[in-house]
Structure 1
């Protein structure tokens, strides 16, 4: 039992380690990039689209709220592909090769709102495919090959509102029976399937849906004979290729009593069928129809207009020039759209009876003037005449349109606007004159336009902004005067625009003249045309207050470089977004943004920041997005001494950075997104620290790091930066120096300790060693011994040696003994005499007594004798 417990603990530890490893790689994405948000937040959005992926990446950030995986080659969604991604709300899987989605693959996606699996190869929808998606509101399964939907496939989708099954292989209406399990369903799109009929009698008994919008198509028999869709309001019959002959069979009109909107885009449908449809729909208010010549010739348009409930009519993509007279019958309409109908004119009286008309669009036609009847439509609120051939506006065109609030005249050929044209438009709020041929607007915007809030004059040929152009537009909030021909602006050109909040212009800041009264200005976009010169007729504004409420400033030069004076910007102390492109600054120091301390987004692209210093960014500590791409930056050292503690997005793509010091990022504690694409990075040890940081950091996602290529040395050009082996760079000798210095310190301490406490023992050991060497040398040379024996004794035992020992050994035995009092050489160190005596004798005789054992010199003699090759001959004990 104990072994099993240890095994379980080991498995748990291994799983924990693997999980930690996976988490450590959370921001080192090889297949995705993080989507930059204009307003930085803690929500992570990933773009993995169009990457030739063959599987869902296993390094998706678990906290992501949006993931785009479209346009890849993924064949299957496996259970676990989106494990632990509980915050995901937006998932796109369109344009892959998905044939199978494992049951339970989306179990963890409890907050998912949108799921797009369109344009794949699914053939069926299984029982548990959508398990866990209780908050899903939109599901797109269009353009697959679905033939079968399990009866309980949608039971988990209790919040689903929109379901698209367009372009599949469904054949019978009973195939959509599972939608009964969708309590919140609002829209179902079924066009371009293989239905031969759509008859509610084929649905299960007691089938009922809360559906209010249904789209179908094909050569189909449409029959509603049961109360299957009691709340349906919108029917769409969508053209799907040719042969879309609709057969309408509604035996009981009460079953469609709630239908208000009908869209018919059928290429083959008879007049009789349309008449039958109109007769079946007593509540029809909006009719969207691709009109046919045959229908016009048979007076169908007039008949449609007699429908008392009809309020909105949209005719499109057919030639209506021969049938405009039939529109007169539509007197009850409040909305009329005649777009893409090749109209060259709307004859007098064709829409004159429409006294209740509030919305009229005749866009994308061939009108060369404003229709005559328009001026008599006093109830008109929105008029769209864009993309026509209108070249002139007369004083009578809008003379009675006092209720008009939106007027779109863009993309025409208007070259002049007289003072009287807009005189009657006292309630106009939006006016679009963009993309025309205007060279001047003198007196066009007179006192009548007191309520105008949006004015668009983009893409005209205006060269000069004069003082009287906008002086009467007291309520204007948004103005676009972008023009490629601007040369001049008078000093009081913007006088009177006290409520202006957003301005798009082709004037440089130096050309704005007196603008200190623009106290509400928040967003300014300057788009400078190429190779243009700007002049100001009078002195420019030198006052201290300049757009003090400004929150966003964008300056873009189309080509070339614009030299920008930051003095005007420095007074914008509320500025939060500052963007420039192809702009050069007069200076780059700590005073540049010292008054713009609220900046959150700073974009300086296509500039020359090769000499950028940290002082430029120090005054803006709340910066969250910094984009310095294509600005000739050579190093990141300027970020070392900044105080950008809130910086989240750093974009430095397309610069000249070759070496990156990873210590830079320690001064950016909030950095989550880093783009260094297309820089000439070196594959040398100087970048080893950066490579190691990219692989190990847990916070910052370095965009497309796996695609970064080496630019130097030559032999590594074209290879991947992350493939560079940094291991040799890490072994730089520092460990050797550490060990060496440690050993030296320990040796010094040990030597001092030994010298202090073991000095004489060391000396004694040294001499023992010398004795050993001496004996070795003597043995090798085989020198004859001078004495037969060396007698080692204490001086207190001298009498015994002379009386007892010496007579026997020398007198009787004939030995020649070495005695220290007799044979030691005078003046020679005692230790050397001892050594020479021992090693000059064949034997050593030790006379051991109590005095001998207590003697230090006797002890040394016996120790030397032990090291030598001489052995102890006699052992004498003295009691």
Structure 2
């Protein structure tokens, strides 16, 4: 046997081309039993030119590959530093001797390969310390006889053993009689002597034999058929005689055990191949026939009769012909008309297949990875009306392009339930498709289909696989698949989750590896039966929409496949790689109404509170007074840059009712005239005797920078106050300046002002007035504001104030008028 197992990084690597397919058959089981878990620490010293075992091996190693070196001897302490060693590959060295205590420190060893060395006997005393050994390959060494030593009795968990030799005797395998094996591989290509029933000591499920292609094979094959359920022959060369004789021997025996027969790497002519098949197909105990790596020699001209058989399944993989000039109909007709239930011809470069000539017993056809086009079976769609029992058709990995044309080839397969058309080049543009109504499962993955394919589907399909296509969107109003319960749209180009208007019974939706950035929950209302979803490995944009999608998992009791590790944020960059289960946004940031309420409510509350506070603290009054003060100061600065009008002697003329004279004399005048800051014109001391009241009023207003009117209910009732206001207002209009200051001594409602005082009403409406505050704390700001309004640089001459004598010279009429002020 020219192969070995290379254990590296937890995988078995196959390196032999001669019986490569043999290892592909058993390797799955070896991995299942020996490599079912991932090795944590594997050392690879293969092809290093080593002559001895390295001494610096880390004690934590679980695997060690020392193949393809020049090691000649295994000593007792070579592996003492590896207590956790579970597999060891020593193949392709020059080992002659293995010390009995070599594995004394390795009780966990499960796999040992010492093939292709120079071991001369099979005593194998070192096995006494390997109670957990499950796989052993000791083939291709220098021993000729295959007598196993008593040490094999201790490896009670052994399941795989590979041996080779030239002589096989009855008692050679007695030490394995009590061990239940799974597979025994015997490289007997150089066998020179075989003693009948030598295999009867083996208790195994599978026997794999490299035959000699000589008469010796007859007894070996016959014994193998008696002891194992599965018999595999390797390297059978262009002969059927030995098989015929072996099967004839079995006919006369009651002990017939094998139900599966396999050829690996066989070469036969057309005649020998059909005769060999007839031998096996005519047997009464073989139920499954396999051929791997089958080579047809020569041409195929002769048409062979179709045998009757009790074989249930025929599988041919990796077959080829050496002569391409032959009548293909003979080949195709032979296989399609064999009365088996399951027929597989795969990984074979055939381009066509004929239809059965009569009602076929075929229930499963597997033509995967061949070279079929959409014209598979026949050019005429009505020719294949004898496949009415077919329920499974697999055409995976061919060269089929037109799905519409292929549908017509299946039209008469009325029992077809499972159809696999994956890994082809299928396209659909338009036209009517003719599928049998019986199709329940359809696999169209790995093709070139877009969303139009939904117009060319079996109407009662239940499971639909469309992954790895070019579907960008779905429109449910175009198609109706009411029976659909599972839909696989993984690895497409979908930007959003499709709705279920066209398939209301859908329970499983698979959308992995698409282009889903954001997810809208609109689909959930139409997909009421949805229980399983796979939206993994999509470039999610973690926003508020995605927050709702994550909560849907629990809200609607939908199972998310591969949750949570395959669900991560891709955008924004700051969240790239974050698991969706760890992505959280507050309800406030995602709910516009709540967000507005959260913003507006505090603003409203603060506004109301500020308003109440302002009212309680009379802040508007302070602001208004500050504004008036600011404006007054601004005007004062502006006036200072101008020339003071001629004739100004007073800062202000005060007009008030006689009833308010106390406030004027005790509050207004003292606060303005202290330190002789301002000159105030007052009628009692500044009216010139001899002049009329009107003349004095006009004169005082003209000589004053401003006119102050102290407003109150008394002021409104005074006729002369109204005259003074009239003259001041007239001057304001004529000079186009702002010279009037209104001081509201007490609140005066508009409705109390007589209509004849319309000028006063207008001024109080349009002109800002100063209110006399009742709160003493506000008085200082009031006076500061008033002083700012009166600020101006007047000539230094001071008008002589009328004395008491002058005041006494006022005539009675004048005094009477003044009493009305």
TM-score (norm 2): 0.52
Q: Deviations over 1:239-285 (max 9, x none)?
A: 6xxxx55699989636537788774477xx7x47x779937756398
Q: Is the 8 A contact 1:383 1:407 kept in 2?
A: yes
Aligned match of 1:550:
440
**What residue is the counterpart of 1:215 in the other structure?**
113
Question: Structure 1's 594 and 472: CA in aligned 2 closer, same or farther, altered over 3 A?
Answer: closer
Any stretches of 5+ residues in structure 2 without a counterpart? 1-7, 14-34, 47-52, 251-255, 322-327, 554-559, 563-568, 584-595, 666-676, 688-695, 710-727, 729-771, 794-821
- The secondary structure found in structure 1 opposite 2:129 is coil
Change (3 A) 1:470 1:700: farther
Give the superposition deviation at 1:167.
3.0
Counterpart position of 2:535: 649
Residue matched to 1:499: none
**Residue of structure 2 aligned with 1:574, choices 442, 457, 462:** 462
- Following superposition, the deviation at residue 551 of structure 1 comes to 4.1
- Provide closer, same or farther for how the CA distance between residues 575 and 440 of structure 1 changes in structure 2, counting only shifts above 3 A: closer
2:502 and 2:54 map into 1 onto residues whose CA distance is: 57
Q: Matches of 1:594 and 1:642 in 2, distance apart?
A: 17
Match of 1:832 among 692, 706, 709: 706
Equivalent position to 1:598, from 481, 485, 506: 485
**C-alpha spacing 1:604/1:198, structure 2 compared with 1 (3 Å):** closer
Query: C-alpha displacement at 1:236, in angstroms?
Result: 1.3
**8 A Cα contact 1:481 1:506, kept in partner:** no
Q: Give the RMSD, CA atoms, in angstroms.
A: 6.9
CA contact (8 A) 2:393 2:418 kept: no
* Structure 1: stretches of 5+ with no match in the other structure: 1-69, 72-90, 95-111, 124-144, 155-162, 489-504, 654-658, 675-687, 703-734, 803-814, 837-851, 871-879
Match status 1:332 vs 2:228: no
Pick closer, same or farther for the CA change 1:529–1:264 going to 2, 3 Å. Answer: same
Conserved? CA contact 2:287–2:311, under 8 Å: yes
Question: Which residue number corresponds to residue 576 of structure 2?
Answer: 695
C-alpha distance in structure 2 between counterparts of 1:855 and 1:405, whole Å: 113
Deviation at 1:554, TM superposition (A): 2.0
1:309 aligns with 2:166: no
Cα shift at 1:637: 8.6
How do 1:521-540 residues align onto structure 2 when only pairs under 5 Å count? Answer: 521-525=417-421
Query: Secondary structure in 1 aligned to 2:707?
Result: helix
Contact 1:419 1:445 in 2 (8 A): no
- 1:165 — aligned with what? 64
Residue 116 (structure 1) aligned with residue 44 (structure 2): no
Q: Is the 8 A contact 1:416 1:439 kept in 2?
A: no
Distance (Å, rounded) in 2 between the aligned partners of 1:203 and 1:816: 121
2:155, 2:467 → 1: CA distance?
52
Instruction: Say if 2:428 and 2:452, in contact at 8 Å, map to a contact too.
Output: no
Q: Shift of the alpha carbon at 1:290?
A: 3.7
Residues 403, 116 of structure 1: alpha-carbon distance in 2 compared, 3 angstrom cutoff: same
2:343 paired residue among 413, 427, 431:
431
Residue number in structure 1 paired with 2:393: 479
CA gap of 1:172–1:572, structure 2 versus 1, over 3 A, is: farther
Distance 1:393 1:466, change over 3 A: farther
Aligned counterparts of 1:863 and 1:233: Cα–Cα separation in 2? 107
Match runs of 1:79-478 below 5 Å: 114-117=37-40, 147=55, 153=60, 164-167=63-66, 172-176=75-79, 191=91, 197-202=97-102, 204=104, 209=107, 214-217=112-115, 218-220=117-119, 223-225=123-125, 227-229=128-130, 235-237=136-138, 245=142, 253=150, 256=153, 263-264=161-162, 271=166, 278=172, 281=175, 283=177, 287-291=184-188, 295-296=190-191, 299-300=192-193, 302-303=194-195, 306-309=198-201, 313-316=207-210, 320-321=212-213, 323-328=214-219, 330-334=221-225, 336-340=231-235, 343-347=237-241, 351-352=246-247, 354-355=249-250, 356=256, 358-368=259-269, 369-370=272-273, 372=275, 375=279, 377-386=283-292, 387-389=294-296, 391=300, 398=307, 402-410=309-317, 411-412=319-320, 415-416=329-330, 428-434=340-346, 435=348, 441-443=354-356, 446=359, 449=361, 453-457=363-367, 459=370, 462-464=377-379, 469=384, 471=386, 474=389, 476-478=390-392
Listed as ranges, the matches of 1:653-732 within 5 Å are 665=546, 668-669=549-550, 690-691=571-572, 694-695=575-576, 698-699=579-580
Return the alpha-carbon distance in structure 1 between the equivalents of residues 349 and 188 of structure 2.
31
Cα offset, 1:366, TM superposition = 1.8
Q: Is the 8 A contact 1:454 1:477 kept in 2?
A: yes
**Aligned-residue offset at 1:361:** 2.7
Radius of gyration: which is bigger?
2
Counterpart of 2:690 in structure 1 is: none
Q: Provide the residue aligned with 1:107 in structure 2.
A: none
CA contact 2:88–2:113 (8 Å) conserved in 1: yes
Q: Distance in 1 between matches of 2:446 and 2:184?
A: 45
Verify the 8 A CA contact 1:486 1:506 in the aligned structure 2.
Answer: no
Q: How much does 1:572 deviate?
A: 2.4
Compared CA separation, residues 305 and 336, structure 1 to 2 (3 A)? farther
- Structure 1 pair 511/701, CA: closer, same or farther in 2 (3 Å)? farther
- For the residues of structure 1 that align with 2:535 and 2:426, how far apart are their CA atoms? 30
Following TM superposition, by how much is the alpha carbon of 1:699 offset from its aligned partner in structure 2, in angstroms?
A: 0.8
Cα distance, 1:596–1:200 mapped onto 2, change above 3 Å: same
Q: Secondary structure at the match of 1:351?
A: helix
Q: Mark the CA change 1:506 to 1:431 in structure 2 (over 3 Å): closer, same or farther.
A: farther
CA displacement 1:539-561 (0-9 Å, x = unmatched): x869xx934x7244427767x98
C-alpha change, 1:555 and 1:467, in structure 2 (3 Å) is farther
Is residue 482–residue 527 contact of structure 1 (8 Å, CA) maintained in 2?
yes
Q: How far, CA to CA, are the matches of 2:495 and 2:334 in structure 1?
A: 55
Q: CA distance change for structure 1 residues 148 and 582 in 2, over 3 Å: closer, same or farther?
A: same
CA contact 1:305–1:330 (8 Å) conserved in 2: no
How far is the alpha carbon of 1:649 from its aligned partner? 2.1
Cα distance between partner residues in 1 of 2:642 and 2:380: 118
Q: Distance in 2 between matches of 1:431 and 1:121?
A: 43
CA contact (8 A) 2:450 2:471 kept: yes
Structure 1 residue 289, shift from structure 2 partner: 3.6
**Distance in 2 separating the partners of 1:816 and 1:436:** 120
Alignment partners' CA distance in 2, 1:257 and 1:353: 38
CA contact (8 A) 2:652 2:705 kept: no
Structure 2 CA distance for partners of 1:598 and 1:758, relative to 1, 3 Å: same
Per-residue deviation, residues 712-737 of structure 1 (Å, max 9, x unmatched): xxxxxxxxxxxxxxxxxxxxxxx9xx
From the superposition, tell whether residues 174 and 779 of structure 1 become closer, same or farther in structure 2 (CA, over 3 Å). same
3-state secondary structure, aligned to 1:344: coil
Q: What is the CA-CA distance between 1:389 and the residue it aligns to?
A: 0.6
